[in-house]
């Protein structure tokens, strides 16, 4: 067993590219080794802005000899009537490097076929690695790649060196003008020279001695330590602590090869800025960490993380302070300019922003959101109508502010802060931001029903509008993010636990577009089906079995909360033998009744005790189950439905449904149809029958 070390040395790669590149290198190398029949131990990755590294332990030194069985043409096609090989047999044997005489005859489901046994001698791993390395380099997909010099290949940044070792031996190959070697590079500024690496075990320590922490996890810990140390050195009172945003830590970790923290300060006048604006100026533009006091308020301090050792702390801090001061001066200017107009005064100017070319302006969208929000609020929270209406009116007004123009990520956040400064109700102000939540799957949900209602209306308006003009997602293409919007819509309804008809909301949303577009006749059905598919995928992705989800949605998908309750009740029945048998009987009933929809039953046509008993049990069960279903007590309803199991079994044992007498046959079909319709109130349990 050997240890493999492979490092791609480059110019500085953007921080956001590194994680996905490492994942690809790990997954792809594992697949390639498996395909080559090579055993291996653990695969680890490492990286800095200037390198992507793969380390494989216990890699098998040689492929095992392998035998491949290749099935070729049918015997009839391979040999003629005289038993002589045809061109098909000769060609097949030649392509596999064997003689016709060595071909074997095997039985297959399609008949007798010729088979060639190919013996392949295993190759040394050393000979196989160049192709693996070339595949890894060419296979990494970056958000943006570049070509350089006269090279034909592309990569995130120009490749400067290749380190490739199997134990202590260089795996030689050429990548454009770069040859592999046993050399790496130290820190760009503190050890910018070629450094020999003895083997994989010495790799990390060799780089550490040359001011490079190559393990991202260790470098991340050091970033946190340096940031904390910089604050404690600056403020010995212990009243200050850095705001350690996880995402920012990850970014900074991939921006440096070794971190050095330094704490700077800024003028207290900038604390006048809304907190999120101040933090965004530091975090997004400069990658600085804000600092809070024990009282939770921001202090006029920040922490920068340098990529080089700091000799003159004061000089370095001054440099960072000058850069941040310019950014904050801009922010403060924008803030003061924005305060000259309230959100109320801005909202009518939304007519100057196009929402979508065929769907009108942002003012029109804002008016549609207001209409749909109040429609929904009247149904689920009538006491909140005034707040919902006001929040909808102001929800998009901050798009016109200088602050959002400068910091787009503050959309909604700045709207909330400005609404509070304007004296708007706190719940209304909160909804101006909260209606954007959740921003991503599994993200934070809004705190108030007001925000959630406006958020539902906003998402549904976009979904309906795009479908109305034919802009539907296809395959992997979803330019307007309608899948994400649908999931957000579903999660908001789940979060609120409200009972609302999606069909009714979609119809209302379509009506809001009547002066702009003429959608297809079945547009509403298409939209509901699209949302249903997102719901099903979300539920199965969360761990609910496909059978349960399908059973619940197949009997109707209009009210998300109701569908979830039915789904939970059905899931509770899994594993119960009685229920499994009833599900099987129900499947049989569905197959028998087919398209029959008549449920009228004439008891005078009953001729056997089995059908009389089933009908009486059905009537009793229906009288008990329907009130439970009406009250959405689906688990109790299902328990009641189980009482039909034995009468159904007896019925099928003793009664011929398809009787010769047309009236008797129709009566029995009608009874089974009535039974099926009762069960379908909860779910299509035939989907849960295991074959």
Other CB atoms within 10 A of residue 541 CB? 9
3-state secondary structure of 60: coil
Asked whether 219 and 258 are in contact (CB, 8 A), the reply is yes
**Partner residues linked to 161 by β-bridges:** 9
Q: Which of these, 418, 385, 376, lies nearest to 512 by C-alpha position?
A: 376
> How far apart (Å, rounded) are the C-alpha atoms in residues 139 and 135?
6
Antiparallel, parallel or unpaired: β 104-108 and 66-74: unpaired
In sign, the C-alpha dihedral spanning 474, 475, 479, 480 is: positive
**For residues 383 and 472, is the Cβ–Cβ distance under 8 A?**
no
Buried b (16+ CB within 10 A) or exposed e, 578-612: ebbbbbbbbbbbbebbeeeeeeebeeebbeeebbe
Strand order in the sheet with 298-306: 240-242, 289-293, 298-306, 260-265
Region of residue 575 (phi > 0: left; psi between -120 and 50: alpha; otherwise: beta): left
Q: What parts of the chain have a pLDDT lower than 70?
A: 690-691
How big is the CA angle at 390 (ends 386 and 393), to the nearest 5 degrees? 140
3-class DSSP string for 143-187: CCCECCCCCCCCECCCEEEEEEEECCEECCCEECCEEEECEEECC
Cβ neighbours around 210 below 10 Å, total: 18
Q: Environment class of residue 193 by beta-carbon count within 10 Å: exposed (0-12), middle (13-18) or buried (19+)? A: exposed
- Cβ contacts of 410 within 8 Å, gap of 6 or more: 276, 277, 280, 403, 404
User: What pLDDT score was predicted for residue 690?
Assistant: 64
| Tokens describing residue 283 | 């975090």
Distance CA 267, CA 262 (A): 17
- Give the pTM: 0.78
Bridge partner residues of 240 (DSSP): 293
- Asked whether 567 and 682 are in contact (CB, 8 A), the reply is no
> Would you state the structure tokens that stand for residue 453, as one six-digit string?
């209602």
Q: How far apart are CA 452 and CA 486, in angstroms?
A: 14
Residues with Cβ within 8 Å of 337's Cβ and at least 6 positions away in sequence, in order, are 402
| CA distances for 106 relative to 87, 100, 112, 116, angstroms | 19, 15, 6, 10
Task: Return d(Cα 311, Cα 318) in angstroms, integer.
Answer: 13
Q: For 500, how many CA atoms within 13 A lie in the half-sphere containing its CB?
A: 27
Measured CA to CA, the distance from residue 413 to residue 446 in angstroms comes to 13
Long-range residue pairs from 597-600, CB within 8 A, at least 24 positions apart, any chain: 597/673, 598/666, 598/669, 598/670, 598/673, 599/670, 599/673, 599/674, 599/677, 600/670
Q: Would you tell me how many other CB atoms lie within 10 Å of the CB of residue 433?
A: 24
Q: What pLDDT score was predicted for residue 94?
A: 86
Contact 115, 96 (CB under 8 A): no
Helix, coil or strand: residue 326: helix
* Beta partners for residue 443, in sequence order: none
Delineate the domains of the chain, giving CATH numbers in brackets: 2-62+124-208 (3.30.70), 66-120 (no CATH), 216-338 (no CATH), 344-543 (1.10.3210), 562-688 (1.10.730)
Q: Give dist(CA 163, CA 181) in Å, integer.
A: 5
Distance between CA atoms of 214 and 211, rounded to whole angstroms? Answer: 9
472: closest CA among 540, 387, 531? Answer: 531
């Amino acid at each position: 067993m050997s240890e493999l070390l492979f490092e791609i040395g480059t110019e500085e790669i953007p921080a956001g590219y590194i994680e996905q590149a490492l994942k690809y290198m790990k997954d792809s190398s594992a697949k390639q080794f498996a395909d080559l029949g090579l055993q291996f131990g653990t695969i680890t990755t490492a990286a800095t802005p200037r390198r992507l590294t793969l380390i494989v332990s216990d890699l098998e030194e040689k492929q095992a000899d392998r035998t491949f069985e290749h099935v070729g043409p049918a015997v009839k096609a391979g040999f003629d009537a005289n038993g002589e090989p045809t061109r098909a047999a000769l060609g097949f044997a030649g392509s596999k490097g064997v003689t016709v005489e060595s071909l074997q005859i095997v039985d297959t489901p399609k008949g007798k076929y010729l088979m060639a046994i190919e013996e392949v001698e295993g190759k040394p791993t050393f000979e196989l690695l160049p192709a693996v390395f070339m595949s890894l380099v060419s296979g990494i997909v970056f958000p943006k790649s570049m070509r350089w010099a006269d090279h034909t290949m592309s990569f995130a940044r120009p490749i400067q060196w290749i380190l490739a070792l199997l134990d202590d031996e260089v795996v030689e190959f050429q990548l454009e003008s770069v040859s592999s070697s046993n050399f790496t590079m130290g820190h760009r500024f503190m050890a910018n020279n070629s450094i020999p690496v003895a083997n994989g075990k010495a790799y990390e320590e060799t780089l550490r001695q040359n001011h490079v922490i190559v393990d991202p996890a260790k470098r991340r810990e050091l970033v946190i330590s340096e940031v904390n140390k910089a604050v404690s050195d600056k403020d010995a009172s212990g009243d200050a602590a850095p705001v350690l945003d996880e995402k920012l830590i990850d970014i900074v970790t991939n921006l440096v090869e070794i971190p050095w923290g330094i704490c700077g300060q800024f003028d207290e006048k900038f604390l006048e800025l809304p907190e999120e604006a101040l933090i965004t100026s530091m975090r997004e533009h400069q990658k600085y960490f804000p600092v809070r006091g024990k009282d939770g308020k921001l202090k006029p301090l920040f922490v920068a993380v340098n990529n080089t050792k700091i000799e003159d702390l004061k000089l370095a801090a001054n440099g960072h302070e000058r850069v941040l001061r310019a950014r904050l001066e801009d922010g403060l200017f924008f803030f003061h300019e924005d305060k000259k107009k309230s959100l109320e005064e801005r909202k009518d100017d939304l007519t100057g922003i196009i929402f979508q070319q065929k769907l009108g302006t942002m003012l029109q969208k804002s008016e549609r959101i207001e209409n749909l929000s109040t429609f929904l609020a009247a149904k689920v929270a009538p006491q909140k109508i005034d707040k919902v209406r006001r929040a909808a009116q102001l929800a998009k007004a901050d798009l016109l502010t200088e602050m959002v123009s400068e910091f787009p990520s503050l959309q909604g956040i700045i709207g909330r802060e400005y609404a509070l400064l304007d004296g708007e109700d706190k719940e209304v102000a909160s909804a101006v931001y909260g209606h954007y939540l959740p921003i991503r799957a599994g993200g934070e949900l809004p705190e108030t029903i007001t925000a959630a209602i406006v958020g539902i209306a906003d998402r549904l308006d976009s979904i309906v509008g795009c479908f109305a003009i034919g802009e539907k997602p296809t395959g992997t293409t979803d330019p307007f993010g309608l899948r994400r919007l649908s999931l957000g819509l579903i999660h908001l309804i789940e979060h609120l636990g409200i009972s609302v008809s999606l069909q009714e909301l979609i119809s209302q949303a379509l009506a809001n577009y009547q002066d702009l577009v003429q959608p297809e006749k079945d547009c509403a059905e298409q939209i509901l089906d699209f949302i249903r598919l997102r719901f099903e995928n979300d539920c199965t992705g969360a761990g609910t079995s496909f059978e349960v989800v399908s059973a619940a949605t197949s009997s109707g998908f209009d009210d998300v909360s109701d569908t979830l309750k039915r789904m939970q009740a059905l899931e509770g029945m899994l594993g119960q033998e009685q229920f499994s048998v009833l599900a099987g009987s129900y499947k049989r009933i569905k197959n028998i009744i087919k398209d029959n929809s008549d449920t009228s039953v004439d008891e005078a046509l009953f001729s056997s005790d089995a059908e009389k008993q089933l009908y009486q049990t059905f009537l009793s069960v229906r009288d008990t189950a329907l009130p439970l279903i009406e009250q959405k007590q689906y688990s109790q309803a299902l328990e009641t439905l189980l009482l039909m199991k034995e009468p159904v079994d007896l019925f099928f044992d003793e009664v011929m449904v398809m009787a010769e007498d047309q009236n008797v046959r129709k009566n029995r079909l009608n009874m089974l149809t009535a039974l099926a319709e009762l069960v379908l109130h909860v779910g299509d349990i035939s989907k849960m029958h295991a074959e």
